[in-house]
Structure 1
Amino acid sequence: MSTVVEQPGGGITEAGRGGRGWLMAGIGLGAAALIGGGAYAAVHFLGSTGDQPDTVLPGDAAAYLRVDLDPSVGQKVAAVRFFQGLDPQAQARLESGEWREYVWEKLTEDGDVPADLDYATDIEPWLGDRAGVAVLPNGEEEPLVAVAMQVKDGEKALATLDKIKASSAAADTPADEQFGYYLDGDYVVLAKADQVEQVRAAAEQGTLEDQEAFTSDMDDLGDAGVASFWMDVAKVAELEDVALDEAAELGAGGAVTSGLTDEQKAMLSGRAAGALRLSPDAVEIHGLSHGYGGFSMPTADGAQLVLDLPADTAAAFSLENGADWVQAVWDLYSSVDEDGVDSLVEEASAQGFTLPEDLKTVLGSSLVLSVGPGMVEAVEGMSQTETSLPQLPVAYRVQTDADRFSTLLQDLGLPPNELAQRTDDGVLTLGLAQDYVDGVAAPQSRLGDDATFGAAVADADEAASVLFVNINEYEDRYLPMVEDEDARSALERLAAVGWSTEVTGADTSRFTLRFVADGE
């Protein structure tokens, strides 16, 4: 790794300096350019090669964010396909491959970049295809934050940064907003002026690419998509709250542990990684977690009651092994705050309940909460004078001890005969309308066989939890409230949102969030 800053003409100088605004603009340009050019421009970018930002950023990072300014051809075609309905100008620039220039123009209009910079002459000739941000704990209130931007021409990149430095100096930019930079292979690395040498020294000791935990997690993640992140939770917990907030502003790490006590932070361990991916009909965020100590996640197979809901279900939430989750969380908090847990048990007992057993009864071994079609209309049609429970298409279905559940309802002052209900093979179904409860318990067609549900919810048959919303069911309600025609056109393409988690081991899990578009 180069440890000097090369200036145009081959000279060597100390790290340069620039203002915070241009650095933020650079990150914004990279992030906004994730979806790259359109289907035609994609072919032009096929030849992109080179190292990733993790090859130059310090290996002791607590959190890392990577953006790909040149995604694969498939990702670019997907972007054009999915984002139809954008602002016409943005759509045209996206399809023509001029997305970076368009974003730069918008940043310039907002005053986020120096006015004397020209994209065609000052940025485009050197801006590469990748960028990354790393946050490192350093035992101080303010962490080290480093940004690595790939460059096609190091000398031109440094010339632009020197130009920005001069502009910043002329504007008397405060010292704490000054940034330094140095060239390392195909990347320019930027950090605050008083931290840049610490960042360089840390990278010389080893980069993220050299860390087995990082490379193993990213390999397990698979397709890194147009953007990806990684974090070591224990290291993130070392950061001060103010450091986390600043890191969140730069788009790396976020305030994951902000506000937690030292005792709560000590409970945190493990690592997490995730990726933003595009497909022709969906935007997906997929992630994983590894190695959380002190907490063993339930791994037993569940009944997956969510799959047996009616195919026209408008929204649903499900959880497998709920009783086991209650016990696992209960054991964890008992080991940390035994007095607090004992106090909670006493308070519940005074009300006639037994913890954690009653909670385990409520959640059972498999549960699903469902909302049927026509929910909004049913709510709007509710009587203002009727005292009985409204006939709404909502149901709670759980595999549990039905008799004990009924007793709990009575203890809560809600006699079971006031609710629509039925029990089938150890599965209790409760609701407000008997016809809907019967339809949920014995559907004519299954949600698990529905194409929209299958597209929105990843691996539903193995999921530990599921959240599904059929957006089309509510389209007539929310679209008229969107005044911007282009935004309304884009939102009209959204068909459904799905979330699922999968427990793959006692301390490992995966999650997937998908936004699915209507078919053409």
Structure 2
Amino acid sequence: MSYDTPSGPPPSGPPPGGQAETLDSRGGDRPRGRGRRSTVLAAGAAVAVVAVGGAAWATLSFFSTGDQPAEALPASTLGYASIDLDPSGGQKIAALRALSKFPAFDDVVGLDADDDVRRWIFDEIQGETECEALDYDDDVAPWLGDRFAVAAVDAGGDLPAPVFVLQVSDDDAADAGLQAIRECAGGDSVEGAWSIRDGWALIGETQQIVDDAAADAAEASLADDDDFQHWTSEAGDSGIVSLYAAPEVGALLADELGGVGDDLGLAPEEVVPEESIELLKEFRGAAATIRFDDGGLELEMAADAGATGSMADGDAAGDLVASLPEGTVAALGLSLGDGWADELLDQIAEATGESTDELVAQASEVLGIDLPQDAETLAGSAIALAVDGDFDPESWFGGAAEPGSGIGVKILGDPDGVEDVLDKLRAAAAGQDAGFLDSDADDEAVALGPDADYRAKLLSDRGLGGTDSFERVVEHHDDAAVVLFVDFDAGDDWLVKLAGDDQDVRENLEPLEGLGMSAWLDGDTSHAVLKITTD
């Protein structure tokens, strides 16, 4: 995308022969410091909207290397979300090609690869305001850069302070531009302040907040923080949007959740389970990235596994889902680790106020099985729900006398042990419609479902993992604990049919190919990737 004013990288250091220059909303130059004066900033609202508005457009772009907003924020920053609007040309074109497949994109956005994204955002915002005096070419283009962020900064209060970060290509022009935006937006009627230094503008509620943030960043920046580097690296290759939560966020949330009980006159554990509060206090951090990859949009996340408290920590879900029939429309696979049933029962007991022993006794009486051991046997090393292209929802939910085929469960485990548990469940359900408990088995798996033909298909047809749609949308299925797969093209374009006669909706659903998600554990780190692809 070409811009009306060339925008190279911001200055990387102070001007020759002296201290770095800092401009703030008081006007003029000032040495770096921690003054307590405050001023108003109508620009804060307007320019912040530009930054946040960029998120709506950011799906057109890829991340490019270079200076990032984290360099302008202090290492004590608690939360961070950045957007990059200036990716490399090849990636940008690939994104436009993908998005241009959707008629609504051209109708609503209507941008080409050589358009100025910033101008488009400015025009959209200006059209919703009464600030007609601003001119993009005169007041914005000469200084506004391509990278933006919003952060939660520790400002010494009970809660973190929001700070917006804007990349600027000319510090003096940015100061003048922000002044113009402030005047147009209402002058002294809106509180706020800014500080500009070394190619970055920090915008916050008060002058002290932004001055302190700038000074602290000069001493130790978020970009150099060990936790930030670790978690953003764990989230994989960089992308159009980067998100980060510092370890301190867990303790902050724990305190806030605990305070909810005080407000309601209740003990904290009566509002939020005590175990959840303790997990938050032990939180070590998290990060996420949104990127384009192989014709699809991808969200990758990494987080402290101990704080998630997930029961899905096995490694066989991906292999099981890959072994499903080639014509599978949708599948959800879970691989539950050792002790998951005990953990689940404890959580239910804590939520209901009953003891675990009472809960086990009640469930065992109703289901006719021995908990928790029979539940773990039944789930095996992995269990998957599968929906075939021949599945007819009306046969299930429309009151048909006989349920149709095309849906079932496949369990990877000890077939004899699974069958023993199923026999107990069938006995407990005697006299009731328990067709879904009908089963067939081979040497390593059991198939459940009301239709014998589909049960046989679940055991014999193992082609899903070799299909292009599965490989593209579920890239990280090896050793996964959770896998979700949806094929939008299978089953005679079932997704498009859901739109009925609405031609506009049909045309915008047609380009979608698939949706996939995989989650896995790597040591004490939990990973997940969610991806959607187009034809």
Task: Work out whether the TM-score is over 0.5.
Answer: yes
TM-superposed CA distance for 1:92, in Å, is 4.4
CA contact (8 A) 1:316 1:370 kept: yes
Sequence identity (%): 27
Contact 1:288 1:510 in 2 (8 A): yes
Amino acid at match of 2:284: G
Which residue, out of 388, 402, 410, partners 1:372? 388
What is the SS of the residue equivalent to 1:107? Answer: helix
**Over residues 289-311 of structure 1, what are the superposed CA-to-partner deviations in whole Å (9 max), with x where a residue is unaligned?**
24626958776542722111111
Shift of 1:26: 2.0
Q: Given the superposition, is the C-alpha separation of residues 163 and 263 from structure 1 closer, same or farther in structure 2, using an over 3 Å criterion?
A: farther
Please state whether the residue corresponding to 1:314 is helix, strand or coil.
strand
Corresponding position of 2:40: 17
Counterpart CA distance in 1 for 2:353 and 2:445 is 34
Other-structure match for 1:256:
none
Q: 1:499 aligns with which of 507, 514, 517?
A: 517
Match of 2:120 in 1: 102
Alignment of 1:229-248 (within 5 A): 229-232=243-246, 234-239=248-253
Q: 1:77 aligns with which of 93, 100, 107?
A: 93
- Is residue 2:166 matched to residue 1:149? yes
**Count of residue pairs brought into register by the alignment:** 483
C-alpha distance 384-467 of structure 1, shift in aligned 2 (>3 A)? closer
Mapping for residues 289-308 of structure 1, pairs under 5 Å: 289-290=303-304, 292=306, 301-302=315-316, 304-308=319-323
Q: Distance in 1 between matches of 2:272 and 2:481?
A: 27
Q: d(CA) in 2 for partners of 1:60 and 1:482? A: 51
Aligned to 2:376: 360
Structure 1 residue runs of 5 or longer lacking an equivalent are 243-258
What is the SS of the residue equivalent to 1:267?
helix
Letter in 2 for 1:132: A
* Corresponding residue SS for 2:325: coil
Match for residue 442 of structure 1? 460
- The corresponding residue for 1:250 is none
Q: Is 1:55 aligned to 2:71, yes or no?
A: yes
CA contact (8 A) 1:78 1:279 kept: no
Q: Which residue matches 1:252? A: none
2:222 to 208, 223, 234: 208
> Equivalent residues in 2 for 1:97-496 (5 A)?
97-111=115-129, 114-136=131-153, 140-170=157-187, 172-173=189-190, 178-193=191-206, 195-200=209-214, 202-204=216-218, 206-232=220-246, 234-239=248-253, 260=272, 264-268=276-280, 269-290=283-304, 292=306, 301-302=315-316, 304-321=319-336, 324-327=339-342, 340-351=355-366, 352-375=368-391, 378-380=392-394, 387=401, 389-400=402-413, 401-402=417-418, 403-413=420-430, 419-443=437-461, 446-473=463-490, 474-480=494-500, 482=502, 485=504, 488-496=506-514
2:24/2:194 contact within 8 Å kept? no
TM-score by length of 1: 0.81
1-structure distance, mates of 2:225, 2:426: 53
CA distance in 1, matches of 2:399, 2:93: 55
Aligned partners of 2:177 and 2:75: how far apart in 1? 28
Aligned to 2:8: none
Give the distance between the partners of 1:153 and 1:100, measured in 2 at CA.
Answer: 16
CA distance in 2, matches of 1:324, 1:109: 57
Report the Cα offset of residue 419 of structure 1. 4.5
Alpha-carbon distance, 1:121 to partner? 1.8
Point out where structure 2 has 5 or more consecutive residues left out of the alignment: 1-13, 15-19, 258-270
- Aligned in 2, Cα 1:338/1:383: closer, same or farther, shift over 3 Å? closer
Aligned-partner residue type, residue 203 of structure 2: L
Give secondary structure in 2 for the equivalent of 1:461. Answer: coil
Pick aligned residue for 2:51 from 27, 32, 35? 27
Residue 499 of structure 1 contacts residue 511 of structure 1 at CA under 8 Å; is this kept in 2? Answer: yes
Matched residue type, 1:362: L
Q: Spell out, residue by residue over 1:457-497, the C-alpha distance to the aligned partner (whole angstroms, 9 max, x if none).
A: 122233221111111232331344656x3x64343211111
How far is the alpha carbon of 1:139 from its aligned partner?
A: 6.7
Matching residue's letter, 2:124: K
Separation of aligned partners in 1, 2:92 and 2:421: 55
